[in-house]
Structure 1
Amino acid sequence: MSDALVNGLAGAGGGIIAQILTYPLQAVNTRQQTERKAKQSTYQASQVERAPPEVGSQQKRSLGTFRELSRVLQEEGWEGLFRGLTPSLIGTAASQGVYYYFYQLFKDEAEAYALKRKKRGFGDGSPGMFSALVVAALAGCLNVLLTNPIWVLVTRMQTHAQAQKNACGGSNIRQIFLEAETASSEKPTNNLKRNMSYGTLAAIQDLYDEAGIRGFWKGVLPTLIMVSNPAIQFMLYEGMLKQIKKKRALNKTGSTNITALEYFLLGALAKLGATVATYPLLVVKSRLQAKQEIGGDKALQYSGTFDAILKIIRFEGVGGFYKGMGTKILQSVFAAAVLFMVKEELVKATRILVAKKR
């Protein structure tokens, strides 16, 4: 079994475990990122004047992480926190598998090139920080182009109930369903049924009806730019790992073994740096991939990446790019730490098994 395949499978396994553990936080964060709350707009001003106080609460500040979790549980139940989990797990396994497979392939090439340079009298025989950045960026680009449709579906499933709530003037979707059932002896309408059970096939059909095949690659430009996130993450991770191994190699024992806890902490630190640097792009990507509002305020609808950036700046200010950042740091840092720890331990265990068989 090739080293690239081992890393690919281990990355997929680690990604699945991390995703299951942190999915509710990810679902809440996606909702926070896709909230379109303009500072001031003609449509919203007229709506607030006409609407009751509770409906005109669009101007209220975003809820915190745990208050948002509580609100989703109260209004939508556990299903609301885990909506889109199945395609998300498929997407995570595919994304991490593809990413780590190509990352290892490119990394092996970079290491081979570094050794050739050392023989010619250049360098120490190991890839530098810039090489790690390029390797991670190349692997990330391939991963984005192959798996973007999956993440578009996940985003829409996570934000579907929120979009329906906005369309109904902020009313509770469950309450609307119950009222419709009570008011009539007839069965609830198909639309209401669909709103309550919005699955993968419904999301695919909805997206295709809205934007055709091109819709499955919505947000691909900011996502490609977001490749800088794992690129920065791996650059920091590999750099810190290299320094630790160098220091330990100088010890009398000469052991360069890294513990699971150390992998966890290195992964957390690397992801923290990368998330803080690239979060605004993540908000733009989520806004583009979420269902665009039909009618209403045009200031809160986006025709493309640059249109989204300009409208967020104009109507929400710079703070619009940082909605839900606290939740994202909590979710992504923990997920990355778990992923790195599990992935490295799986790689280590696989290599031991292969060595024993040989």
Structure 2
Amino acid sequence: MSDALINGLAGAGGGIIAQLITYPLQTVNTRQQTERDLKKEKRKLGTIEEMLRVVKHEGWERLYGGLTPSLVGTAASQGVYYYFYQIFRNKAEATALERKRRGIGDGSVGMFSSLVVAALAGCVNVLLTNPIWVVVTRMQTHTKISKKSLSNQPLPAPDETVLSIVEPLPYGTSHVIQEVYDEAGFWGFWKGVVPTLIMVSNPSIQFMLYETMLKKLKKKRSLHKQGNNGVTALEIFLLGALAKLGATVVTYPLLVVKARLQAKQITTGDKRHHYKGTSDAILKMTRYEGFSGFYKGMSTKIVQSVLAAAVLFMVKEELVKGARVLLTPNTVKSKPP
């Protein structure tokens, strides 16, 4: 089994485990990002408050709305990303070694090369898996309102935003796929692909920071422990968390724009809530919501993404180690007397 395939499968496994652990936070964060109430005086609910509100009015299962396609998307995304990342990384390492033989460089992959490798892998991942995430976003932002809740609540004002109303059919994966196709045809499944492609800088920055810190830690460890540069699962966890934190702070506005475009569009009523494309969404958000609109739900995202990335890195590294141990022939045998 190739090293690229091992990394791809390990990435998919790590991604699924991280997704299961952090999915309620992801659902809450997507709702916060796509909330379009323009009233400045309205108090924004915190992460825990939003979770409790969803459980109270819609049931705890809504925190896991879209989990099935999300798991498929996570496995596909992580698998595709790590597979192509390893392929591009191998080529970059081979190029670096060739340059060293010609007297250029020290044979290691530099920071810029690592950034390019991660960006290329990210672009391939986005183009192949964007339809899955359009479906997941729709299911996460669909609001299930019980008849009892509706009877006790006044009708929303004309200028207020309601993400979704109870529909006669179950809002499952097939229903969402049909809805997206009816709205925008085949290309509707690539809504938000422009900001998402730009957002490949997020994993690029993340992996650049991660590998830079990991390289320095291994170098420091080898100097102090006579060539032993092994790192623990906890250290991998912390490095993954730090790398993701830095990347998330820089690229969060693009994530909000992507979520707005992929969520169900409001075609009637207030046109300020309807986005025709990436530039239209950015202009309307800037005009009507200000700079803060691009950072809605950021605290929730930081907790969710940092925890998910840390778990993913830790699990992936352990799976890769385990796979290599299982697949590598046992070359260490007892020495003859």
Q: Same fold (TM over 0.5)?
A: yes
Distance, in Å, in 2 between the alignment partners of 1:129 and 1:173 is 52
Report what 1:200 is aligned to. Answer: 173
Q: Matched residues in 2 for 1:129 and 1:21: separation?
A: 31
- Could you tell me whether the CA contact under 8 Å between 1:155 and 1:289 is conserved in 2? yes
- Given candidates 77, 82, 85, the residue that maps to 2:67 is 85
Aligned partners of 1:242 and 1:287: how far apart in 2? 38
**Matches of 1:111 and 1:177, distance apart in 2:** 60
Amino acid at match of 2:168: K
CA contact (8 A) 2:27 2:63 kept: yes
Distance 1:6 1:107, change over 3 A: same
Which of these residues, 304, 316, 321, is aligned with residue 343 of structure 1?
A: 316
> Of the candidates 224, 227, 237, which is equivalent to residue 254 of structure 1?
227
Where 2:96 maps in the other structure, the secondary structure is helix
- SS class of match (2:109): coil
2:57 and 2:149 in contact (8 A); partners too = no
Aligned equivalents of 1:294, 1:279: Cα separation in 2: 26
Identical amino acids, percent of aligned pairs: 71
* Preserved CA contact (<8 Å) 1:39 1:315: no
Q: Which residue of 2 aligns with 1:107?
A: 89
TM-score (norm 1): 0.86
Aligned to 2:212: 239
Give the C-alpha shift of residue 250 in structure 1.
Answer: 1.9
Give 1:276 deviation, angstroms. Answer: 0.1
Letter in 2 for 1:332: S
Correspondence for 2:126 among 128, 144, 163: 144
What displacement does 1:125 show?
Answer: 0.9
| 1:1-358 equivalences in 2 (<5 Å) | 1-39=1-39, 60-161=42-143, 172-175=145-148, 192-194=167-169, 197-356=170-329
Q: Gaps spanning 5+ residues in structure 2: where?
A: 153-165, 332-337
| Aligned 8 A contact 1:313 1:320 in 2 | yes
Partner Cα distance (1:192, 1:95) in 2 = 30
Matched-pair contact (CA < 8 Å) for 1:117–1:125: yes
Q: Which residue of 2 aligns with 1:47?
A: none
SS at match of 2:224: coil
Pair 1:177–1:61, CA change in 2 (3 A): closer
Partner of 1:48: none
1:45 matched to which residue of 2?
Answer: none
The more displaced of 288-297 and 250-259 is: 250-259
- The separation in 1 between residues aligned to 2:70 and 2:330, in whole angstroms, is 35
The DSSP-based 3-state class of the residue aligned with 2:55 is helix
Q: 1:336 to 1:272 in 2, by over 3 A?
A: same
What SS class does the counterpart of residue 142 from structure 2 fall into? helix
| Cα distance in 2 between the residues matched to 1:329 and 1:252 | 35
Q: Is the 8 A contact 2:244 2:309 kept in 1?
A: yes
* Amino acid aligned to 1:142: V
Shift of residue 120 of structure 1? Answer: 1.3
Amino acid in structure 2 at the alignment position of 1:240: M
Relative to structure 1, is the Cα distance of residues 198 and 252 closer, same or farther in structure 2, using a 3 angstrom cutoff? closer
Residue aligning to 1:55: none
Report which of the two has the higher share of helix. Answer: 1
Opposite residue 116 of structure 1, the aligned amino acid is E
- In the alignment, the residues of structure 2 paired with residue 2 and residue 283 of structure 1 have an alpha-carbon distance, to the nearest angstrom, of 37
Q: Provide Cα deviations, 1:9-42, integer angstroms capped at 9, x if missing partner.
A: 00000000000000000000000000112258xx
Q: Does the C-alpha gap of structure 1 residues 101 and 174 become closer, same or farther in structure 2, counting only changes over 3 Å? A: farther
Counterpart residue identity of residue 317, structure 2:
E
TM-score (structure 2 length as normaliser): 0.91
Q: Distance in 1 between matches of 2:179 and 2:233?
A: 43
Aligned residues: 319
Instruction: Assess if the C-alpha contact under 8 Å between 1:99 and 1:140 holds in 2.
Output: yes
Give the Cα separation in 2 of the matches to 1:61 and 1:215: 33
Q: CA–CA distance in 1 between the matches of 2:283 and 2:38?
A: 12
Q: Secondary structure at the match of 1:193?
A: coil
Q: Could you give the per-residue CA deviations for residues 91-116 of structure 1, whole angstroms, max 9, x where no partner exists?
A: 00000000000000000111111111
- Structure 2 equivalent of residue 187 of structure 1: none
CA contact (8 A) 1:39 1:316 kept: no
Is 1:156–1:291's contact at 8 Å kept on the other side of the alignment? yes
